[in-house]
Amino acid sequence: MKFGGTSMAGIERIRGVAARVAAERAAGHEVAVVVSAMAGETDRLVGFAQAASPLADRAEYDVVVASGEQVTAGLLAIALHAAGVPARSWLGWQLAIATTDAHSTARIEDIDTDAVLASMAAGSVAVVPGFQGIGPDGRVTTLGRGGSDTSAVALAAALHADRCDIYTDVDGVYTTDPRIVPRARKLATITYEEMLELASVGAKVLQTRSVELAMKEKVRVQVLSSFNDTPGTLVVGEDEIVEQELIAGVAYNRNEAKITVAGVPDRPGVVAAIFGALADAQVNVDMIVQNIAYVAGTTDVTFTVPRTELALSEDVLAKAKAAIGYATVTSDAAVAKISVVGVGMRSHAGVAVTMFRALGDRGINIQAITTSEIKVSVLIAEEYTELAVRVLHTAYGLDA
């Protein structure tokens, strides 16, 4: 069981978490719990570290920020005792959770479970602070923001847990954002691959790394709410899903901006010149479309970058103008990427056509298209975002 910062925000909520853990144990399960820091606490600690020095040593930064989860781990153990449940906290260095030495962005390499398994077998609930471990130098490491999901999945894998339940402030994964489509349905199951595609296009329920790890280690993950008792969404392998839906969900992302480099000489190596310059500046380019050339001997290249990197990208392109030899650069930040995701499209033709037709019928112009094996994404004008999501939700039969 993993509980996020909202679930641990204050003693009353921690007592609620203890009650959930007690119920799970009363149902006959051996339970390990991974906890986040109280909501807001990590921000407070990061603020201290940055105020002390914007270039804070990463190892010392980890010493500071890892304390938030240490506090909630101790408090949950105390609350469990008060609820009559034997429990003890296991700090990252006690288990130990061995990580790489990349302080503040460490990756878990190994978890020693002998002592904790013996303790759990003796009836004690193991309470483990998320987000942290111990590096090869014997110092505290942290996994990066949101790393507690990854801690939970890694611990579940190491313990060979039947399931990893991630309690959060939403009660599962929906076919789309219910704030836009009130008839969005909660999915009973979703595959790892679909979850990854949905996360990468802006549906933030689980940290991406935790889903990748769950897929690699075959950990069955359940996303559910700390604040009600409705069943959540189970994230599993494709083989576990009997009745495959064509499309699992519709996602949107308003954090990208479009750049068009026009009048590019139509010769080998010129596209590499554009994206090489951007890569050197650490810009993450997403969709790329090479348009038909309107002027003979030249072509246009359109692509998207994160909106926060638009100014940087324009600067990079301006400096590389002579090397690339383009005519103009135009940009548009008012775009949105709309994606439909589903493993079912592997075996079904026509999925993309349904999308293009549904959008076209409403007069929504498609500015760019990318596809993966289980995803089709289109770029449209941002003002059509909600309309496009609703239209596609209906077109793929997802409405409740």
Residues at the contact surface with its own copies, assessed by CB under 8 A: 11, 14-15, 45, 48-49, 51-53, 55-57, 59-64, 66-68, 70-71, 73-75, 77-79, 81-82, 88-89, 91, 93-94, 138-140
Distance of closest approach, residue 61 Cβ to its own copies, in angstroms: 7
- Tokens coding 168: 């959060």
Alpha-carbon separation of residue 381 from 202, 252, 308 (angstroms)? 17, 12, 18
Distance of closest approach, residue 151 Cβ to its own copies, in angstroms: 17
Distance of closest approach, residue 137 Cβ to its own copies, in angstroms: 10
Helices assigned H by DSSP within the chain? 11-26, 41-52, 58-65, 67-82, 92-95, 114-121, 147-158, 192-200, 208-217, 270-280, 310-319, 321-324, 351-361, 385-395
Pairwise CA distance, residues 157 & 211, whole Å: 12
Sequence-ordered list of residues with C-beta below 8 angstroms from that of 364, at least 6 positions apart, any chain? 380, 381, 384, 387, 388, 391
Give the nearer residue to its own copies in terms of CB position, either 94 or 394. 94
Give the nearer residue to its own copies in terms of CB position, either 125 or 206. 125
Give the nearer residue to its own copies in terms of CB position, either 62 or 197. 62
Alpha-carbon torsion (138, 140, 145, 148), positive or negative: positive
Residue with tokens 């690339």: 324
Count other Cβ atoms within 10 Å, centred on residue 191.
23
Three-state DSSP class for 210? Answer: helix
Distance of closest approach, residue 42 Cβ to its own copies, in angstroms: 12
Query: DSSP strand E in 176-248: where?
Result: 189-191, 221-225, 233-236
Distance of closest approach, residue 38 Cβ to its own copies, in angstroms: 9
Give the nearer residue to its own copies in terms of CB position, either 96 or 293. 96
Distance of closest approach, residue 29 Cβ to its own copies, in angstroms: 22
